[in-house]
Structure 1
């Protein structure tokens, strides 16, 4: 098997990973505005797709972190091969598909890092991994980013409700709260998250393809992604985003907490700020962890709401296992590939079969834009019931508005 074919195989798998990253992370930007009825589901994913495409062209700092920092390229005698990159991608893709099937907003970033690390250790050795970079730009951001985003979202939610609270100047009683502007604002903040996602997550696949081109000797070590690589990755993540990822939208939109417009606005603003800052600094941040932390923080910030800690626990467990699980699959694939051409073929066939099986299995309980969080039908029904309630019981309608 010629190296040219192997490089082409790796690039194809990398772009498929980029596609899974897109539909896996659509929820990060659009789950909360869909849940609050700020934007219709299909319109939301289309908008996210376009903004992911644009965002992918705005920065390459994260790509450089992956292509030149995570795995040593060869300046000290260590040469990662396209086969190793292929094995790492296999670990990332299979974990992404598994967590999508389960509706878990897992980190595509950590799946990718885990797969690469496991494959590199088996294929080359522990010395091939730059653990300082792993610690500084992967592990530490993974620990602190969701906590920081959650804290900011909590404070922003508190501030939003405090600034828009209305009381009767004479009696001090609460008046009907007018917070419809936050629903409109969510369109802007969710768009900003989608743009930020493109500046961060699309870069990871660019870094992988650049890494394999360097490994194949077709690009000098230390160089950044080429223009065609940027364009291909931007397109792949945009198409994946448009595919929807409705299972994870269901979890993010209604599984963690009941989201009101002011909450959603605060969560999205916090998420976008964290992602854009990390892209500028070259941190390969998990947008999923940031978005989840922001939603939880916004839920804690609204009085009377409930955070579903059981779902939080499931998501946290997924986060904990992402890097090691992908590393194990990457390591096993690398071991198989190490046997030669037959091993490469077996790995490719088995990996494809597993992906196809999971997709077919998912059709048994199909989740789409029509039933992800029951937004279109439920939103219409809520508005209809509210109008009737206002006619029949104005005081009850007023109390509901105060809670919102």
Structure 2
């Protein structure tokens, strides 16, 4: 009886030892997904938020006072330079002009008579039949008559200008706003605003560059931008930069309060879609094209003051590499340095990969991501940054 009991105890001991040995066996290495960085030709762009402004904007004010007689345009109409916009009752000014013309005719007749008298006095003096005093008086009368005629002619021209000013014409081609005064109202010279007129083709894009971006470009290129540099612009509801123009102005100093410098581009606007006051995003080339490495943004980790990625060596061991990153391109992060095209980067199962540990790998693929559609409206803030494409 004791012998079977001993054999049972021995079998239990062997089974327990086998279970403990099985528990101590190391687990298999985890499997992670790896891929080589995506290579692409990249151009860095400097991006600016700005506003469209008209090249010329005019407040239409009368140059003479009077009662508004007629409005010769439709609100919001496109008008050409010289086209009639308003008519002020011209009758009072026409009466003044007629009076001035009569004064001119009268002064002309007085001058003609004075010249006849002068010629007669000169002839008598030369024949020793007239005095020097008489001749001098006739000469003075002729000079006064000439002066009176010049004054009358100047008054006539001024009165004619006032009559012309009763017909208010467009000083430039563009789009007129709505009428601010109805017919029959009294308008005051140089004070009453009748409407506004803007020239919106071509149109300007005004922007501001931050001091950081200004310094970056100064160091890289020795200048902020060259006048005539091409620019691309997109609107708030657009994803692509479909509007093209050129840089026309960069200010000569930064604003001491905001630390920004003003700039301006100009672009054609033949169908008048671009409207003064509208916001947009503008980009300027910030670098020459170069071959860059791209990784999904989520595989780049921030470790205190550096950014790192996990790579797999030939021996299957996970290693940590510090990298220098750039902007996003199609949802992928540009890697400027610290990585080679042959590196196998962990892009899946990152939680299983520990630096110094051995892992199994399976191939993955890095694909560009489509840009998300722009919302119907974005609340822009004046800013500038560097992007890439």
Quickly name the TM-score band, shorter chain normalised. under 0.3
Greater strand share, structure number: 2
Bigger-Rg structure (1/2): 2
Greater helix share, structure number: 1
> Structure 1 length as normaliser, TM-score?
0.22
> Structure 2 length as normaliser, TM-score?
0.22
